[in-house]
Amino acid sequence: MDLFTNQTTAGSSVAFRLRPDDGSRDDQALLLVYGTWDGASVTLTVSNDRTGTFVPMRDAYGAQIGVFTADSGVSVDVGKHAFGKLTLSGEGGSTSISAEFEDAQ
């Protein structure tokens, strides 16, 4: 699923399902974020439902994770949260970011 395609301005992606439709909770998925950054960052936020409040992802120690400032490909544990959303901020004049999410199925 394409979340951003050459995104040049601040904004958020559509909400996307992190958990596979088959209800399994142990699959992995791949999130790719890449392009020309020029000071921009992309943050992955999560929610238990598509229309709820999206909050930053945090590790077991409370540190925020899921903030990207350079080309990245990360495996997402899709069993922990139901939906994700990406937010682009801090863009510069030449920022052009693309992002893709691929379910492991």
Please name each of the domains of the chain with its CATH number. 2-103 (2.60.120)
Task: Report the pLDDT value the prediction gives residue 44, as an integer from 0 to 100.
Answer: 93
pLDDT tens for each residue of 55-93? 988 888 999 888 999 999 988 765 555 789 999 999 999
Looking at residue 36, its amino acid is T
Where does residue 59 rank: exposed (0-12), middle (13-18), buried (19+ CB within 10 A)?
exposed
Task: Report the pLDDT value the prediction gives residue 4, as an integer from 0 to 100.
Answer: 97
Task: Report the pLDDT value the prediction gives residue 22, as an integer from 0 to 100.
Answer: 58
For the entire predicted model, the pTM comes to 0.86
Q: 41 pLDDT exceeds 80?
A: yes
Task: Report the pLDDT value the prediction gives residue 23, as an integer from 0 to 100.
Answer: 57
Q: Which helix (DSSP H) or strand (DSSP E) does residue 100 occupy?
A: strand 96-103
Q: Which helix (DSSP H) or strand (DSSP E) does residue 67 occupy?
A: strand 67-68
Mean pLDDT, the chain, rounded, equals 86
Q: Tell me the average pLDDT across 21-44.
A: 83
